[in-house]
Amino acid sequence: MSLFNVFKVSSSAMTAQSMRLNAVASNLANADSIVGSDGQPYRAKQVVFEAAPVAGNSALARGVRVREVVESAAPARMVYDPRNPAADANGYVAFSNVDPVEEMTNMISASRAYQTNVEVMNTAKSLMLRTLQIGQGQ
């Protein structure tokens, strides 16, 4: 039954959007980090979505999956602070290149998309319940 595919499609989108939210959380948490675990300044991470066929081999349904996680190529934010132990020879400290405004808009977009998919799933559920009720009235 094809309405079951709606659940697969919407849940794949919800998984993808929650991964995006994860990336946003990681970026915002590290907005003021100086060095990451690899010794380099933290770089903002972004997820890239791609359309993917869902299980069940339906030509109509296209789910979403995260193809890759890319790191922002923006230059690190340089702050003049000669007293900081991480400062370079000129007294500048390389902070992460996270743009908090961009991350906040990303977060709102991801949460709205998540909500919409929940709604689509609920609609499909109520349609299926209506289908089950066919012929039950007197």
Partner 1 sequence: MADIQSHVGVYSKALNLRAQRHEMLASNIANADTPHYKARDFNFSQAMENALGGRNVGGSLAMNVTRQGHLAGAGGVSFANVQFRKEVQSSVDGNTVDMDVERAQIAENALHYQMLTQLISDKFSGLRRAMSSAQG
Q: Which residues of this chain interact with partner 1, rule CB under 8 A?
A: 1-3, 5-6, 9-10, 12-13, 17, 20, 48-51, 56-64, 109-110, 113, 116-117, 120, 123-124, 126-127, 130-131, 133-138
CB of 75 to partner 1, least distance (A): 22
Q: With respect to partner 1, which residue has the nearer C-beta, 32 or 71?
A: 71
Cα separations in angstroms, 80 against 44, 87, 98: 21, 8, 18
Q: With respect to partner 1, which residue has the nearer C-beta, 44 or 110?
A: 110
Cα separations in angstroms, 63 against 45, 97, 99: 22, 31, 29
Q: With respect to partner 1, which residue has the nearer C-beta, 32 or 50?
A: 50
CB of 124 to partner 1, least distance (A): 6
Backbone dihedral region of 47: left (phi > 0), alpha (psi from -120 to 50 degrees) or beta?
beta
CB of 13 to partner 1, least distance (A): 3
Q: With respect to partner 1, which residue has the nearer C-beta, 25 or 51?
A: 51
CB of 97 to partner 1, least distance (A): 21
Cβ atoms of 106 and 47 within 8 Å: the answer is: no
